[in-house]
Chains A and B, each alone.
Chain A
């Protein structure tokens, strides 16, 4: 079946603009995660959804970052008033509590965000 998809694959924006990143998880996966990978840094957790609710937003770096998930499926990560330090690859993953391999996370190809 189809894997996790993300769009756009690349986004170049000017400092101060808002951007929206989209994630389509694997069909039926109840959990959805956003991570960020900056140049030379490891993978950093941002926010996690179980269904449409976000029990853990602790990784969001500032109030400029927000995310929502609707219909237990698609999620959008929004960054307002982008800054150059927001430049990174934003990765989305999903997992299913009902799978035999509990919490195995499957990742999308990522969105590479460049803030000029």
Chain B
């Protein structure tokens, strides 16, 4: 059974700093891994999805990596801005298959201080 963990639970950084958010998973037979952003009182916005066969994905200032052997994914945010403040969640399918429910970490709450 897949389990997903995110550490730290909260992170505060000054504006302009580069930062890394961590995500760990227990089952290395991972189908894909998806990173989301959640603003207070809002739903989830998909940021990046890394397929099992990929090592990383990039979108603008965001870069997500996947290391199946170590059971880890990281989300790198370059030149952080106050608008990046949100909770970041990672998730993986429960089983090694497409179109199955996701297992979520509890998220990292990021605050970028101007």
> A97 contacts B99, CB within 8 Å?
yes
- The stretch from A13-21, A61-69, A107-115 touching chain B is A107-115
Interface string of B19-39 (1 = CB under 8 A from A): 000000000000110101000
- Give, as a whole number of angstroms, the nearest-CB distance from B53 to chain A: 11
Residues of B within 8 A of A59 (CB): 101
Contacts A102-B51, A104-B49; A50 near B43 (Cβ below 8 A)? no
Taking CB as reference atom, which chain A residue is nearest B93?
A103
> A48 contacts B49, CB within 8 Å?
no
Does B88 count as interface, using CB distance less than 8 angstroms?
no
In the complex, the number of residue pairs spanning A and B with C-beta atoms less than 8 Å apart equals 68
Interface string of A64-99 (1 = CB under 8 A from B): 000000000000000000000000000101010100
Taking CB as reference atom, which chain A residue is nearest B94?
A45
Task: For chain B, give the interface size range.
Answer: 20 to 34
> A106 contacts B46, CB within 8 Å?
yes
Task: For chain A, give the interface size range.
Answer: 20 to 34
> B104 contacts A48, CB within 8 Å?
no
User: B residues near A, CB below 8 A?
Assistant: 31-32, 34, 36, 41-46, 49, 51, 89, 91, 93-94, 98-107
